[in-house]
Chains A and B, each alone.
Chain A
Amino acid sequence: MNDDYSDLIELGGFYILSQRYEEAIRILRRAEKIQKTDPKLYYNLGIAYEALNEKSDARDAFRLVLKLSPDNKSAQEHLDRLIEE
């Protein structure tokens, strides 16, 4: 992974923790253009969408996490909750 990608992931996480979810999504989508196989990217993307109540996008993101990392329990829990709501 190159530095740009790691920086973007870190920045995305920072925006989530600052409750600036739209900015987090924008940054994480930029990171996605560099690398599309990192479950952590899609997990944080799912968290940001879920925080904004954009449930459909959140479900898609958590599904991608599970595709890349089928044993990810947190992603499964978030997805289950989003489907049951």
Chain B
Amino acid sequence: MRQFVVIGLGRFGSSIARALSEKDFDVLAIDKDEAQVKAMEGIVSQAVVLDATDEKSLRELGVQDFDTAIVSMGDTVEDSIMITLTLKELGVRQVIVKARGDLHSKILKKVGADRITIPEREMADRLAQSLASPKIFDFIEVSETYGIVEMVVPKRFANKTLSELKLREKYKVSVVAIKRKIPYSKPDGSTDFKEEFIVGPGGDDEVISGDVFILLGRNEDIDKIRKL
């Protein structure tokens, strides 16, 4: 099982430590603030009070044996740079660091960070994307030109089968799955629905209003469907 060490248990660090633990990963959480560490006890596999700028303590704790380290130091830019450098020198395979801005990010790259995240910016980009395309729920970049997108089915596709729509022929995209809401009646007479996935749908599958397609294709082709 993959093991993660999370250094810095502020809002971002504690959230990621919690989320990884919920996914049943082995998580070691570190912070020099005792209260922050105490708050993670019982949630992660191990929570330790430690000054992560101290290389000796990090080595003694065995962080070099972890697959991935996530550095989320809110207070000082210097600390996150020092810790990143130390972790790479200790041989941690993947070091992911939360940066505060472009300059910080540039320095982190120089000292060997494998991945840099600026959560506020990423969140803002995501929100802007969802506001710009409200019918697109999610987008995964597969390569520079290809992507997987979760998109509300255009109304004109409703009540047609996938063979009738000829999406591969006309738009050069593949329907990987269809997310559909299945309604049911509740004992009080009102209705509700549960979501169901039709993975690898066939040509005979009919599209229903409100379905969500998970499409794979070139970004420009996906865009053509989005504009319908």
* Chain A contact residues, CB within 8 Å of chain B: 13, 16-17, 19-22, 40, 43-44, 47, 50-53, 55, 74, 85
Contacts and interface: CB of A to CB of B under 8 A. Distances in A.
Contacts of A13: 185, 189-191
Instruction: Please indicate which of the listed interface residues B134, B181, B184, B190 has the most CB atoms of chain A within 10 Å of its own CB.
Output: B190
Contact of B208 (A16, A19, A47): A19
Contacts, number: 46
B191 A44 contact: yes
27 contacts: A13-B185, A13-B190, A13-B191, A16-B183, A16-B191, A17-B185, A17-B191, A19-B208, A19-B210, A21-B209, A21-B210, A22-B209, A40-B188, A40-B189, A40-B190, A43-B190, A47-B183, A47-B190, A50-B181, A50-B193, A51-B193, A52-B209, A53-B135, A55-B134, A74-B186, A74-B190, A74-B192
Closest 6 CB pairs of A and B: A52-B210, A51-B210, A53-B152, A16-B191, A51-B181, A17-B183
Interface in B51-101: none
B212 interface: yes
Contacts of B134: 55
Nearest to A78: B192
A67 B135 CA distance: 28
A21 B189 CA distance: 17
B184 A17 contact: yes
Given A16-B183, A51-B181, A44 B190 contact: yes
A47 B210 contact: no
Nearest to B186: A74
Contacts of A20: 209
A43 B137 CA distance: 24
B49 to A, nearest CB: 33
Given A50-B193, A51-B183, 11 more contacts: A13-B185, A21-B209, A22-B209, A40-B190, A47-B183, A47-B190, A47-B191, A47-B192, A51-B210, A52-B210, A74-B190
A16 B134 CA distance: 23
A51 B196 CA distance: 12
B13 to A, nearest CB: 22
